[in-house]
Amino acid sequence: MKKKTNSLSQRLEFRNTTEMNLNLEQVHGRIIRFIKQDPNSEYKFIIGTDCQVHRGYTQFITGVVIQRPGKGAWACYRQVIIPRQLVSIKEKLSTETTLSEEIAMYFSEEKRREMEDLILPYVYKGGSFESYIHIDAGSNLMRNKTALFVAEMVFRVESLGMVPVIKPDSYVASAYANRYSKKQYQIV
């Protein structure tokens, strides 16, 4: 485990299995490049965040994924460390949603339109583009402690013009980001 910092300020840097220290412009460029490889396909642009509470800190991972269902994906993630153990379910879920919204705000309507414009000439041949935020919460009151807060988080995502997705279908938050949030503190 690497030494923790006390700073609450977090860098907007992303990484994946092959690249580190990507800024948002570079992430956008990788997504554009991925779409240009096959603009005649269906695309899902997805942002999702998950967290894990570790001893002395809470680690949040926000995943950014451009998926070509059945044909691959390009993904990266951002790590944010809060130097205390969050215990409130609402605080954790709200912070997860806030971190996803922060990245979604960068990918404004103009940036998403730039991605959509690559696919537009191919819509009658199967091309499509949809934007989602995956929320790590489920609506089943019996199985999910987060169910009480789903409506609030869904409303927040819809206000950004993106489609909210909850459990069990929110795989970018509940699988991709979850996988990296379980790893002990790592500086990216």
What's the whole-number mean pLDDT along residues 103-122?
A: 93
For residues 77 and 61, the answer to whether their CB atoms sit within 8 Å is yes
Distances (CA, A) of 171 to 18, 120, 159, 165: 21, 27, 21, 9
Element (H, E) at 79: strand 73-82
Name the average pLDDT for the chain: 91
Predicted confidence at residue 108, as pLDDT, reads 86
Predicted confidence at residue 175, as pLDDT, reads 95
What's the per-residue H, E or C state across 94-111? HHHHHHHHHHHHHCCHHH
pLDDT tens column, 68-85: 999 999 999 999 999 999
